[in-house]
Amino acid sequence: MQRPAHPYLSGRFAAIAHRGGWVEPADAPRENTAYAFGRAVALGFHYLETDVWATADGELVAFHDEALDRVSDGSGRIGDRRWADLARVRVGGIDPLPRLADLLDEFGSACFNVDIKDPAAVAPLARLADRPGVAERLCVGSFSDARLAEFRRLAPGVATSASPRAVALATHGFGLRRLARDPGIALQIPVRDPRTPLRLVRPDVVRLAHDTGRVVHVWTVNDEAEMNRLIDLGVDGLVSDDLTTLRRVLLNRGLWEDER
């Protein structure tokens, strides 16, 4: 395949730390924190995955859920709170909520795969991408076609993943020309459709992505045998929580590239 010509895809294989991932299972509750991302970078990970929501005053927070309750000592929706209030919230009772801008500054050599969770986050993310040295370190996706389309309009130079519509066309077997028209550089998909028994990562889907000049990143894979199976299938990146297992697999396969 001919890989997309974009700085984000500079390596041979993308090992992507899901919400920062964990080196030890006890670290799992500290997802999407500077601690988690720091542990991933220290282990040699170059690609970090996160999600973003906008606060009531327009700050971009790296956090997966719409509400704070599951993993933090706070409660309520992020979008209903100002950043000054959220700065006191602790994830896992330990770590402050990080702003995406601060993560980009702190981990200046890392690339970020960013999922836009919130319509209000689109414009702030586009403005952040306009800062020097940021655009080439981002790949932006969304489960919303509308959010992704608006981001592409505001930040046309930033790499994006294929839209949900393009993914559906590609994985359900009738989307060659339509996938070719989508500007996304990566088909980022789970192994299976969570709503149906359909397997999404198949030889024909990988071949279609490669034939249209895209890479295939698969989420979220924590099983060692499954990692090896997908690599044998020809995928170009794996998103995982279990960083030590993914690193070991890639070392054994000659695909690990330590970016420290």
Q: Which residues are catalytic?
A: 18, 64
Neighbours of 133 (CB within 10 A): 8
CA 24 from chain center: how many Å?
20
Closest CA to 230 of 250, 211, 214, 244: 250
At 87 the three-state DSSP class reads coil
Looking up tokens 């601060």 gives: 102
47-54 and 60-62 beta bridge pairing: antiparallel
User: Got the DSSP string for 244-256?
Assistant: HHHHHHHHHHT--
